[in-house]
Amino acid sequence: MQKILVLNGPNLNLLGKRQPEVYGSTTLKMIEDLCVAHGQTLDQTVTHFQTNHEGALIDAIHAARGVQDGIVLNAGGYTHTSVALMDAISSAEVPVIEVHLSNIHAREAFRHKSYIAAVAIGQVCGFGAQSYVLALSALAAHLAERDAG
């Protein structure tokens, strides 16, 4: 059984409630439920946490060390700004997959830069809620391969 943390950053609590023309009508609760259900098919125990605060994201990453087998992280806007988040991931010794609902590379230039990408094992973006599902599957494969030696 793999233990996976799905970690969501700022403003993602508003999903499905504001600006549906930009981010769609799927709520964060629907994404969390989808992750738990998909995790069950992969023999993963999925827990989730959302915060609007950079320090709380860093605390959650620190707390995952030695507890979680992997993290699926949508750092929201902090993706493009936070060296502190990048440093936390570097020191956590927990594999992280970066996810985004939107294709950040097809959006404004400031979204093309990700501080997370340099320290994540990979990035999934552009598939809406399915980005999370794909990331869970990728983590399952990554962990199985790593543990096989």
Of 42 and 104, the one with the shorter C-beta distance to ligand CA2 is 104
Please indicate whether residue 100 is annotated as part of the active site: yes
Of 2 and 138, the one with the shorter C-beta distance to ligand CA2 is 138
Active-site option among 38, 48, 78, 100:
100
- Can you give the binding site for ligand CA2, defined by CB under 6 A? 11-12, 14-15, 18-19, 23, 74, 76-77, 79, 100-102, 104, 111
Q: Give Cα separations from 61 to 44, 82, 96, 124, 149 (angstroms).
A: 18, 14, 10, 19, 25
DSSP single-letter state for residue 119: T
Q: Residue 41, Cβ neighbours under 10 Å: how many?
A: 11
Rounded to the nearest whole angstrom, what is the least distance from the CB of residue 80 to ligand CA2 in the complex? 6
Q: Give Cα separations from 5 to 12, 96, 103, 118 (angstroms).
A: 16, 9, 22, 20
Please indicate whether residue 142 is annotated as part of the active site: no
Of 25 and 90, the one with the shorter C-beta distance to ligand CA2 is 25
Q: Which two tokens stand for residue 22?
A: 């930009």
Report the catalytic residues: 23, 100
